[in-house]
Structure 1
Amino acid sequence: MDSLSRHEQLLRVFHLIDILFGARQPLSTAELKDRLQSRGVIDEMSDKNIRRDVEFLVRFGYAVKETKKRSPRGATVQAWEIRPGRGAVELAAPAITLPELLSLAVARDLLAPLAGTIYWRGVSQVIDKLERVATPELLAYVGDHQEGLVVHPRPAGGKYRSRMLNAVHRAIRNSLELEIRYTSLADTKPKKSTIRPEAIVLYDGAVYIAARRAPSAGRKASRGNGDIRFFKLDRVTDARVTSRTFDRPPTPVADLLADSITIYRSTDPPRRYRIRVEPERARWAVEKPFHPRQKVRQQADGGVILEIERAWDGEMIPQLLALGEMVEVLDPLDVRERIADMARAIVARYSGRPRRAADTLPASG
């Protein structure tokens, strides 16, 4: 059996377990087939393959009993049911469907950055339920086939302190202001800030707190003070929940990120961009996509023009520079000029001999 067929069978088997656990009476081959079709698992399948999947369950330790029942036409047909006992091991009916549970088990690596949060604990508890429902043989079988999903680069797990994560989550859940000590890239040591956290954002393998700065009685109001910001949890050295509540703005954080390629935000208003992408990178720009809200206009030579209604210069320019000669900014014109100036500076840097390396500092860590 090839890899695709094996994974298709595994998906059918997990649904069969769920169907049989939830059935109040034995189910015939035709009834099992109908229920698999209603779930969208199969289009058509032979009775022989259904019986083979049932035999698979028996082989991996499920107490499947074969019996007989009357079909709607009055004929005697084969039927199956799962009985709860398996010697000393009880297979209790799952509260959540097995396909959902096993999908979580396979996707565990993707959730590694959330280790220590309530979300990770919830996933761990769900997986514990899975291990009580699935037989050891079936879990081992699933483990053998997890090489079909590769997460690269593998996210680092468990790097955040549990107490800090609990404080952040409590502040978000109860709309409480949070006092943090935070070292921005421009600072050399932590500074104390009071923020109003709205969400935890998982981006590019790192965890961020989406929050707005709390207004300070002694601080003058300035442009951008009430805008959403993203505080990288790696740079937070302490987090303490206060008793001060706040009203959460109506716009969800996910909606605020809809105009961003990354999690970049600016106090400046976003602008409209028109970008030409050369044929060699056109397919990539459409598939990726380059921007979540881009409109694509195909060109006769195979290139594309991307129209982006709302984007920030500070986010767009580094992304455009990374694509080099494969892209050309058509609008805004001042961005064309800025990129041209940068390109000339790059040419000048690389035209001469390499500069002498400065003395290096000892490696950290």
Structure 2
Amino acid sequence: MPNQIERIITLSRIIGLGRGECDVAAIAAETSSSVKTVRRDIEAARRLGIPITDQVHAHGRKTYSIAVDALQRVNFCYDEAFAIMLCRGTATAFEGTSLGQAADAAFEKIEASLGTVAADYLATMLPKVHQRSVGGDYTQHGEIVDALMIGMESRKATFISYHSARSTEPVTYDIHPYAVAEHQGTLYVVGHSCEHHEIRTWKVERISDAEVTPVPFVRPAGFDIKTHMKGAFGVVSGQTPVTVRVRFTGSAARYAAEKLMHPSQQVVTATDGTAVATFRLTSTLEIKSWIQSFGPAAEVLEPEELQQEIIEELKQSLAQYESAEATK
């Protein structure tokens, strides 16, 4: 059975094609929904900003339409069209969900509306650009993503079954979903964990089930996803700010100077070719793996706790290799 997000997308399409002639009964028949559900979905669509208007006819019959001037026809210059179609190649985070399908339809409409000059330019230039598509396929998680979006929009507590990297079995959490974050093609949901009494981040691919409950929650007035993620190297943030300093040598030093990995990043290059990068974060979990990827070309200067973590992990790795070598 379609969830509310899917019904709203279908409802908007039906109303748009109906040119002001659709009433609740017709929409209900088309979507195999009840009249009550259609009315509820129309109100939800309006809250999402979809400009659905109504007109009352004789005998109280009400029909619905989407304002003609809601989406004006846009004429793109060739470089604008090129930029938009490049974005299509990277917009894979919602692939396999109803939102992803809507995005594909939107890109197809944009491409179909291009003028001859822009279309010819695209045909010439797009084959010359290689884009690597990264991230997961959310075809099997479409209903989960939609449930999380409904929970966020309606501000209703949501039960999720989550299989973390450390657990052997899925665990059920009662969460208040605040926002969805995308990082390198992977989706995460950020919200309040009722069990832990703190804001946490869950990887969508590890959620096997999501159910929106009737229980409302109050979203903190001061919560802003961009501010919350400010201290994260990727998507994992913490509570206590920490300064991370790393010395890079060789080609890694040049890479550190060229590549901006975090808004707080500051790099000082010395005359001997080394570079010291400084970051201001609230979690060292993700930056630790990044530092380790450089091997001996990266050395943690501070904090001492992170330095010791890496030392211990290197000792464990060395012990494993030595043990394997001894059994040969």
User: TM range, normalised to the smaller chain?
Assistant: 0.5 to 0.7
State the identity as a percent.
20
- Over 3 Å counting, the alpha-carbon distance change for 1:148 and 1:337 in structure 2 is same
CA shift for structure 1 position 156: 4.7
Question: What are the within-5 Å matches in structure 2 for residues 1-365 of structure 1?
Answer: 95-99=73-77, 100=80, 102-117=82-97, 119-134=99-114, 139=119, 142-214=122-194, 225-249=196-220, 250-266=222-238, 269-351=240-322, 353-354=324-325
1:126-153 CA distance string (max 9 Å, x none): 3243244236896466245312332224
SS of corresponding position for 2:179:
strand
- Over 3 Å counting, the alpha-carbon distance change for 1:119 and 1:148 in structure 2 is farther
Number of matched pairs? 255
The amino acid that maps onto 2:95 is A
CA shift for structure 1 position 253: 1.6
Tell me, which stretches of 5 or more residues in structure 2 are unaligned? Answer: 1-70
- Over 3 Å counting, the alpha-carbon distance change for 1:325 and 1:158 in structure 2 is closer
CA shift for structure 1 position 114: 0.8
Deviates more, 1:239-248 or 1:193-202: 239-248
Q: Judging by fraction of residues, say which structure has more helix.
A: 2
CA shift for structure 1 position 117: 4.3
Paired with 1:252 and 1:336, the residues of 2 have a C-alpha distance of 32
Paired with 1:158 and 1:341, the residues of 2 have a C-alpha distance of 36
SS of corresponding position for 1:258:
helix
TM-score (structure 1 length as normaliser): 0.60
- Over 3 Å counting, the alpha-carbon distance change for 1:168 and 1:356 in structure 2 is farther
CA shift for structure 1 position 212: 1.5
1:36-86 CA distance string (max 9 Å, x none): xxxxxxxxxxxxxxxxxxxxxxxxxxxxxxxxxxxxxxxxxxxxxxxxxxx
Paired with 1:113 and 1:107, the residues of 2 have a C-alpha distance of 12
Tell me, which stretches of 5 or more residues in structure 1 are unaligned? Answer: 1-92, 216-224, 358-365
Paired with 1:170 and 1:101, the residues of 2 have a C-alpha distance of 32
- Over 3 Å counting, the alpha-carbon distance change for 1:331 and 1:191 in structure 2 is closer
The amino acid that maps onto 1:251 is F
1:2-38 CA distance string (max 9 Å, x none): xxxxxxxxxxxxxxxxxxxxxxxxxxxxxxxxxxxxx
- Over 3 Å counting, the alpha-carbon distance change for 1:181 and 1:136 in structure 2 is farther
User: If you compute each CA radius of gyration, which structure gives the higher value, 1 or 2?
Assistant: 1
Paired with 1:260 and 1:138, the residues of 2 have a C-alpha distance of 39
- What's the RMSD between the two structures over aligned residues? 3.0
SS of corresponding position for 1:229:
strand
1:194-239 CA distance string (max 9 Å, x none): 1111111111222111121136xxxxxxxxx233222222222221
Paired with 2:273 and 2:169, the residues of 1 have a C-alpha distance of 51
